[in-house]
Structure formats: C-alpha cells, structure tokens
Amino acid sequence: MLDYQAPKNLLTDKTILITGAGAGIGRTAALTYAKHGATVILLGKTVAKLEAVYDEIVNAGYPTPAIVPLDLKGATEQHYRDMSDTIEQQFGSLDGLLHNASLLGALGPFEHLDINSLSELLHVNVIAEAAMTKALLPLMRKSAHASIVFTSSSVGRKGRAYWGAYAISKFATEGMMQVIADECDGSQVRVNSINPGATRTSMRASAYPAEDPQSLKTPVQIMPTYLYLMGNDSINHNGEEFNAQ
C-alpha cells in the first residue's frame, strides 16, 4: 500500500467527508481526494482555513467541494443529524469518511494528568467520532462501496510513557473501529484505521519541538495509503490497522 499508485479517476463520483480538513494531513487528504475526482466535504473548526482549501480545489478545476464549519468540542448529536440530512439532500449518499481531526493535548507523567483536559480531549478525539459515525452510517449504507477510515497513531497501538490522554484516545479509536467493522462485516461499508507515522505538521512539531521538520515525511508523501483506503481497490479490507509509512 505504501507505493500504491492510484489511477487519476480513482475517486470519481465519490463524496468524501474529511474532518480537520483545514490543516496538516487532513488538508492534504482533501486536496488529494479532490485531485482524484472526489467531491470533498471539508469539516473543521477554523472557517478561514477551510475556505483556503476550498479555493485551492476550485482553482485547480477539481469537483466543487462543500464546507462544514464545526467545532467538534461543542458539537452535539443534533449537529451530526442535521449534517447527515444536509449531505443526503445535497449528495444522496456518502462514500467516504476520514476521521482525521484530533487534539494532541499535554504530554507528561500520568500523575500530572489533568482530568478536565482528558475529558475535553476524549470529547474531540473519541465522542465526536462516535456521534458522527452513528449519524452518518445510514447514509453510507446507501453507497455501493463506502469506506470509513479512523486515524490512529503508534501510541494507539502500543502505549508509551508520557502520552497519556492522546494515547488513551487513540486506543479508544482503534477499539471503535473494530466494533463498527465487525458490525459492518459482509456489508458494503468497510471500516479500517490508519497510522500516518511521523509526519511534518504542526501537531508533530508541538510533540517534538526540537526535531528537524525536514527529517520527516510530508503529508503528500503518505497519501498512497490514504488513497488506497478510500478507493475501491480496498473493498475487501475491513477491521484492519494500516500504516502510511
């Protein structure tokens, strides 16, 4: 998958929602999916960043995207139900959902863990994903082949000292992926997780301030696996953990 070469029209006629589409890996995934023919729904917190991605896609001549400004921190089930209704009215169904937005939170010893911050982080990284997936699954069942991709991390597969809240949230994400994948087994909806690996973004720079960003892969370089999981070449994969590097 790491050297997967996607055909140019891989995602033609697909509608794909990307969370955290205004920056980092999500931004690049949105541009890459649009470049391969998808109509992308850009969800994120900062409207100006989403508008910049929107303009980039339109200026490149890719399918016209849609913008959903939403702060996952305060979003309720009603927000996701309304979003699902709007997507259904506009597009009829949903073929792809990339859960990408996340908070890193504070890194440090477990005994210093701030429980209020843990709760807030779990709301963005886990509860929002659960509520959004619950609301969008009926719409994804209307697609001939739908793909849900959860974003994990190395510390969501093996715990590591000082990664407290973030690691806990990524283990929960992997668990959620497995539960939904098992329920969707044999259906046209597949559910998998991806670990991007160390990638040149602002989140990575916050976690490793002393690191030389030039030593890291760029978001563009990790896109083959992101494309593979959204396109129909991956329809036989369900409940699996992928690495993008």
Based on the residue annotation, tell me whether 166 is a catalytic residue of this protein.
yes
Residue 156 CB, shortest distance to ligand NAP, in Å, is 8
Task: Tell me how far apart the alpha carbons of residues 150 and 58 are, in angstroms, rounded to a whole number.
Answer: 27
Work out whether 167 is an interface residue with ligand NAP (CB under 6 A): no
Q: What is the Cα–Cα distance from 140 to 98, expressed in whole angstroms?
A: 12
Per the CB < 8 A criterion, the answer to whether 38 and 66 are in contact is: no
Q: Quick one: which of 44, 63, 65, 231 contacts ligand NAP (CB under 6 A)?
A: 44
Q: Which one of 32, 39, 84, 100 is in contact with ligand NAP (CB under 6 A)? A: 100
Selecting among 166, 208, 226, 228, the annotated active-site residue is: 166
Q: 63 or 196, CB closer to ligand NAP?
A: 196
Residues from 53 through 82 that contact ligand NAP (CB under 6 A)? 71-73
Burial letters 195-232, b for 16+ CB under 10 A, else e: bbbbbbbebbeeeeeeeeeeebeebeebbbbbbbbbbe
Least distance to ligand NAP, CB of residue 77, Å: 16
Residue with tokens 């000082």: 162
Which of 124, 144, 128, 15 lies closest to 77 in space, CA to CA? 128
Q: Quick check: 36 binds ligand NAP (CB under 6 A)?
A: no
193 binds ligand NAP (CB under 6 A): no
- Structural contact between residues 13 and 40, judged by C-beta atoms closer than 8 angstroms: no
Task: Report if residue 160 touches ligand NAP, rule: CB under 6 A.
Answer: no
Question: Does residue 26 belong to the site contacting ligand NAP (CB under 6 A)?
Answer: yes
**What is the C-alpha separation between 88 and 158, in angstroms, rounded?**
38
The residues in 129-158 that bind ligand NAP, with binding defined as CB under 6 A, are 151, 153
3-state secondary structure 137-179: HHHHCCCCCEEEEEECCHHHCCCCCCCHHHHHHHHHHHHHHHH
Which tokens is 54 given? 């929107």
User: Residue 195's closest CA among 152, 163, 240?
Assistant: 152
Query: Is residue 119 a contact point for ligand NAP (CB under 6 A)?
Result: no
190 binds ligand NAP (CB under 6 A): no
Smallest distance from the beta carbon of 144 to ligand NAP, in angstroms?
A: 28
Number of residues that bind ligand NAP (CB under 6 A): 27
Residues assigned a catalytic role:
166
Residue ranges that bind ligand NAP, judged by CB under 6 A: 20, 22-26, 44-46, 49, 71-73, 100-103, 124, 151, 153, 196, 198-199, 201-204
